[in-house]
Amino acid sequence: MTIDLSKLPSYDQLPVKEGAPKGSAWGLFGDDDELGCLNLITPQKVVEAAKLVRRGAVFPLNLRLDEPSPPMHGRAALKHHLLEIGGVSRDDYLDSFWLQASSQWDGLRHIRHPRDGFYNGVMDEEIITGDQGKLGMEIFARKGIATRGVLLDVDRFLGEQGTPLDMESDSLITKDQLEACMSRENIEVKPGDILLVRTGWLRWYLEEASPEQRERMSGDTMSGALVHPGLGPADEMVEYLWNLHVAAVAADNPGLDAWPPVRGRGWMHFSLLPLLGMLIGELWYLEELAADCANDGVYEFMLTSAPLNLPGGVGSPPNALAIK
């Protein structure tokens, strides 16, 4: 279907389909849609993004597959097996390859709304392995992702303001702070962009966190050991992100939202994924890209991502590149 990026509904105009849940984009891209906000990446957006490549500088946005180490949320550590075959060739395979353990996309079957279910009304029984189910990661892999990316370097901005984030707290990054960061960078977010938010958490984790801190953070999700800053509060931020009409949003912290969720400020995952169809990126490596943006003052770039073409996949490494 043809998408007119200039005529998208605002958040307060949702839903557009009768009977759809409040605050949902169900039906906006068709009753059978499984791409969600990636529909906003039109062919024209790709052409415009390609024009942003001026120097040929390429910035991979993925952690090593074995980081964070130890893995978070009670996941097992990746195991890499190397085989020698006939003395002349090598082959290898992985065990315990958790697709959301390192840099990742959260796909649209990752989270269901507690009341309304999965994106666009997909039923629980349609979330199955293989290519007979719906909302699998192969949908995004077959589309391919290439668009304009915008980096909001919140960590650098707040540091310049003398108000750095405490990386061991659940401090909120608000829409007003995002707006102020945009103004400082002299950048505008446009419909169909992918928004990258650098909180600085991953820099802290890789460079400053002690082995004891990393071990403590690796426990079960609900143990209370993992605490980190992120975007919020949920209702305000969800409305803001939708009104920007971004195709997806990603950050360098473990969950985009501040963690843990606190009563009264919500959790964006329950809205972004099942209601709006907006993919969430987590644990993206943004350090080298951020340094380059700060050096040349250019915070826009072509962004590509090739998720794994795994039928029924819930999540995937983003295999993302920023190209300037």
73 within some domain = no
SS3 assignment, position 18: coil
307 within some domain = yes
88 within some domain = no
72 within some domain = no
260-318 pLDDT tens trace: 988 889 999 999 999 999 999 999 999 999 999 999 999 999 999 999 999 999 999 99
Q: Under a CB-based contact definition with an 8 Å cutoff, are residues 301 and 318 in contact?
A: no
Mean pLDDT taken over the chain: 96
Backbone angles phi, psi at 186, to 5 degrees: 55, 50
DSSP annotation string for 244-278? HT-SEEEESSSSSB-BS--TTT--THHHHTTTT--
Q: Under a CB-based contact definition with an 8 Å cutoff, are residues 167 and 229 in contact?
A: yes
Tokens found for residue 289: 């890209």
174-216 pLDDT tens trace: 999 999 999 999 999 999 999 999 999 999 999 999 999 999 9
- In angstroms, the CA 293 to CA 154 distance is 13
Domain assignment of residue 118, given as a range:
5-67+99-323
Number of domains in the chain: 1
Candidates 26, 89, 5, 67; CA nearest to 252 is 67
113-166 pLDDT tens trace: 999 999 999 999 999 998 899 999 999 999 999 999 999 999 999 999 999 999
Tokens found for residue 132: 């007979």
41-58 pLDDT tens trace: 999 999 999 999 999 999
38 within some domain = yes
Q: Under a CB-based contact definition with an 8 Å cutoff, are residues 151 and 198 in contact?
A: yes
52 within some domain = yes
Q: Is the pLDDT of residue 221 over 80?
A: no
DSSP 134: S
pTM for this entry: 0.97
CATH number of the domain within which 290 lies = 3.50.30.50
151 within some domain = yes
- In angstroms, the CA 248 to CA 233 distance is 18
